């Protein structure tokens, strides 16, 4: 049981770890990307608000129409360099609606040139704020006088107070390193939080499974104990019934126990499972229950049976089957009891089955029953020897008995599993058993 619990826990632990790992990886990537986008959007909004507010205090409507040159440029550039350009903000550019560069803090020589409006500048002129991360300002057009590394380019609209239309588009380049640091810090917190949450979830799942496994293990142990107790009760009941039969018929005392031992030996040679062997044992203990209803005069009769007595004897397999068929744990034993007087050649009773139509367990049972009858004392004769019984059984292979069962019987005999030590004192006494096997099949030999 502990192996099952351990295997179940390990399999669940591995599957849970895989599921939690994949979930955590996917969730972390999603959250990390969301954090990155959120930080960039926040930085872009802040840059747009801060720079545009300062720009609009020094930019007149007339300056928003033509490129800044001469004194206008010098005055405006001085303001930008003093108030806006910093370690974080590395370049500022102003664009006209036709794509003319009105002002540039880093490349004044390009002021007045016309450039095609890209998607982000177009978005700014439509009233929206857009952003782009680039490896350097040079990647965004123009030339830069500073080496700032990666930058965040923010494009936003500028409109004068009281005006609904966008006058110019603002382009601000901010150093991306501080933003990247904030993103990395936030992502680290998320990774730790996700890992901690999923680790806690994994621990909870393992605890639940461990608790469930313990409950399952305890319940399984209880079921095993109950099953063992029930089996012992069944075995005790069978032993009581067998003892009752022995008291009823002293001539066949111990027959059920000997028959069980013989049938189990043959079944073992044929590879029967423990459950199948248990059915054989049950059938052996119960097959003669109907003798309790038979007159003792019939059981102990030394001479031939009358037709009426013979009919009563022939009914006992069906009666035995009817006694046990409604008990679920005895259904297989009932089939054996019903068929244990059938012959391999079809000459048996009660249904005249032949060959493979007869359950294999019943074919085993028939041979074991006959062997015990031949080697046991009866009111009408003394017990025959083991050797004589073996010869007779071998001679009836293919007629009364299944040849495969006969071979298994012989193999068990070679292993010393057949001959009962209780009869060892009779070794060497050859009894006249020739012909008794056929009588046993018809019921005349043992009246059962």
Domain boundary residue, one of 187, 210, 234? 187
Mean per-residue pLDDT, 342-348: 94
Count structural domains, the chain. Answer: 2
- SS3 for the chain, per residue? CHHHHHHHHHHHHHHHHHHHHHHHHHHHHHHHHHHHHHHHHHHHHHHHHHHHHHHHHHCCCCCCCCCCCHHHHHHHHHHHHHHCCCCCEEEEEEECCCCEEEEECCCHHHCCCECCCCHHHHHHHCCCCEEEEECCHHHHCCCCCCCCCCEEEEEEEECCCCCCCCCEEEEEEEEHHHHHHHHHHHHHHHHHHHHHHHHHHHHHHHHHHHHHHHHHHHHHHHHHHHHHHHHHHHHHHHHHHHHHHHHHCHHHCCHHHHHHHHHHHHHHHCCCCHHHHHHHHHHHHHCCHHHHCCCHHHHCCCCCCCHHHHHHHHCHHHHHHHHHCCCHHHHHHHHHHHHCCCCCCCCCCCCCCCHHHCCHHHHHHHHHHHHHHHCCCECCECCCCHHHHHHHHHHCECCCECHHHHHHHHHHHHCCCCCCHHHHHHCCCCCCCCCHHHHHHHCCCCCC
Q: Are 277 and 134 within one domain?
A: no
376 located within any domain: yes
Structural domain that includes position 26: 2-187
Residue 211: half-sphere exposure toward Cβ, Cα within 13 Å = 5
- Residue 205 pLDDT > 80: no
What pLDDT does residue 434 have?
35
Mean per-residue pLDDT, 93-105: 89
Angstrom distance (rounded) from CA 341 to CA 365: 9
Angstrom distance (rounded) from CA 412 to CA 434: 22
What pLDDT band is residue 435 in, cutting at 50, 70 and 90?
very low
Q: Are 183 and 253 within one domain?
A: no
Angstrom distance (rounded) from CA 300 to CA 304: 11
- Residue 318 pLDDT > 60: yes
216 located within any domain: no
29-81 confidence digits (pLDDT tens): 887 788 888 888 888 888 888 888 888 888 888 777 788 888 888 898 898 99
What pLDDT band is residue 202 in, cutting at 50, 70 and 90?
low
Q: Are 121 and 267 within one domain?
A: no
What pLDDT band is residue 364 in, cutting at 50, 70 and 90?
very high
Query: Given the structure tokens 């621990």, which residue do they identify?
Result: 203
What pLDDT does residue 394 have?
94
Q: What are phi and psi of 357, to 5 degrees?
A: -65, -25
Q: Are 405 and 316 within one domain?
A: yes
68-93 confidence digits (pLDDT tens): 888 888 898 898 999 988 888 888 99
What pLDDT does residue 433 have?
36
Task: Give the distance, in angstroms, between the CA of residue 84 and the centroid of all CA atoms in the same chain.
Answer: 65
Beta carbons of 357 and 402 less than 8 angstroms apart: no
What pLDDT does residue 262 have?
94
Q: Are 381 and 308 within one domain?
A: yes
In CATH, what number is assigned to the domain containing residue 303? 1.10.3210.10
111-169 confidence digits (pLDDT tens): 888 888 888 888 888 889 898 888 766 666 654 444 557 888 899 998 888 788 888 88
In CATH, what number is assigned to the domain containing residue 64? 3.30.450.20
What pLDDT does residue 295 have?
64
Per the model's pLDDT, the better-predicted residue between 253 and 177 turns out to be 177
What pLDDT does residue 160 have?
85
Q: Which of 80-84, 374-378, 384-388, 397-401 comes out lowest in average pLDDT?
A: 374-378
Q: What are phi and psi of 413, to 5 degrees?
A: -65, -40
Q: Kindly report the pTM of this predicted structure.
A: 0.47
Mean per-residue pLDDT, 23-34: 79
CA quadruple 230, 231, 236, 237: dihedral sign = positive
- Residue 272 pLDDT > 60: yes
Long-range contacts at 46-51 (CB < 8 A, ≥ 24 apart): 47/89, 47/152, 47/154, 47/172, 47/174, 48/129, 48/154, 48/156, 48/170, 48/172, 51/84, 51/89, 51/92, 51/170, 51/172
Beta carbons of 268 and 282 less than 8 angstroms apart: no
- Residue 187 pLDDT > 80: no
Q: Are 123 and 38 within one domain?
A: yes
Q: Which of 224-228, 276-280, 435-439 comes out lowest in average pLDDT?
A: 435-439
What pLDDT does residue 109 have?
85
Q: Which of 65-74, 171-180, 361-370, 412-421 comes out lowest in average pLDDT?
A: 412-421
Domain boundary residue, one of 164, 187, 210? 187
Domain boundary residue, one of 140, 164, 187? 187
What pLDDT does residue 19 have?
73
Mean pLDDT of the chain: 78
Q: Which of 328-337, 389-398, 426-435 comes out lowest in average pLDDT?
A: 426-435
Q: Is 251 exposed, middle or buried (0-12, 13-18, 19+ CB in 10 A)?
A: middle
Angstrom distance (rounded) from CA 56 to CA 160: 7
Query: Given the structure tokens 């019939």, which residue do they identify?
Result: 298
Q: Which of 13-17, 96-100, 248-252, 299-303 comes out lowest in average pLDDT?
A: 248-252
- Residue 328 pLDDT > 70: yes
Q: What are phi and psi of 131, to 5 degrees?
A: -145, 160
Q: What are phi and psi of 129, to 5 degrees?
A: -105, 130
- Residue 427 pLDDT > 70: no
What pLDDT does residue 241 have?
63
Percent of the chain with pLDDT over 90: 20
Beta carbons of 423 and 258 less than 8 angstroms apart: no
Q: What are phi and psi of 59, to 5 degrees?
A: -115, 130
What pLDDT does residue 146 have?
44
Q: Are 166 and 295 within one domain?
A: no
What pLDDT does residue 197 have?
75
- Residue 2 pLDDT > 60: no
Percent of the chain with pLDDT over 70: 75
What pLDDT does residue 125 have?
87
Q: Are 430 and 296 within one domain?
A: yes
What pLDDT does residue 230 have?
66
203 located within any domain: no
């Amino acid at each position: 049981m502990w192996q099952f619990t351990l295997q179940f826990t390990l399999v669940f632990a591995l599957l849970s770890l895989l599921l939690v790992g994949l979930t955590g990886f996917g969730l972390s990537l999603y959250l990390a990307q969301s954090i990155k986008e959120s930080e960039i959007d926040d930085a872009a909004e802040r840059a747009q608000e801060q720079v545009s507010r300062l720009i609009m205090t020094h930019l007149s409507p007339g300056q928003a129409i033509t490129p800044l040159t001469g004194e206008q440029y010098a005055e405006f550039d001085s303001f930008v360099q003093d108030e806006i350009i910093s370690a974080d903000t590395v370049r500022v550019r102003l664009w006209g609606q036709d794509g003319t560069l009105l002002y540039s803090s880093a490349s004044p020589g390009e002021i007045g040139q016309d450039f095609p409006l890209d998607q982000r500048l177009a978005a700014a002129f439509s009233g929206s704020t857009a952003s782009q991360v680039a490896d350097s300002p040079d990647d965004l057009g123009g030339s830069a006088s500073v080496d700032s590394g990666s930058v965040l380019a923010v494009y936003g609209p500028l409109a004068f107070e009281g005006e609904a239309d966008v006058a110019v588009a603002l382009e601000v380049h901010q150093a991306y390193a501080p933003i990247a640091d904030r993103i990395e810090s936030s992502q680290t917190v998320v990774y730790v939080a996700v890992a901690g949450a999923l680790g806690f979830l994994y621990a909870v799942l393992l605890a639940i499974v461990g608790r469930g496994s313990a409950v399952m293990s305890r319940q399984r142990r209880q079921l095993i104990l109950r099953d063992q107790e029930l089996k012992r009760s069944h075995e005790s009941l069978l032993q009581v019934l067998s003892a009752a039969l022995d008291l009823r018929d002293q001539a066949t005392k111990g027959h059920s126990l000997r028959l069980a031992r013989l049938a189990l030996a043959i079944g073992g040679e044929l590879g029967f499972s423990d459950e199948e062997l248990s059915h054989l044992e049950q059938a052996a203990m119960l097959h003669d229950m109907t003798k309790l209803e038979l007159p003792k005069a019939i059981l102990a009769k030394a001479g031939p049976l009358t037709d009426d007595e013979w009919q009563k004897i022939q009914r006992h397999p069906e009666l035995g089957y009817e006694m046990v068929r409604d008990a679920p744990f005895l259904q297989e034993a009932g089939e054996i009891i019903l068929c244990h007087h059938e012959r391999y050649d079809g000459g048996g009773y009660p249904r005249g089955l032949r060959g493979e139509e007869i359950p294999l367990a019943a074919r085993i049972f028939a041979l074991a029953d006959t062997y015990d009858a031949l080697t046991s004392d009866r009111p009408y004769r003394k017990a025959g020897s083991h050797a004589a019984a073996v010869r007779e059984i071998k001679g009836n292979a293919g007629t009364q008995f299944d040849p495969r069962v006969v071979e298994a019987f012989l193999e068990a005999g070679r292993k010393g599993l057949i001959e009962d030590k209780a009869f060892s004192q009779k070794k060497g006494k050859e009894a006249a058993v020739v012909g008794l096997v056929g009588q046993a099949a018809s019921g005349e030999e043992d009246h059962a």
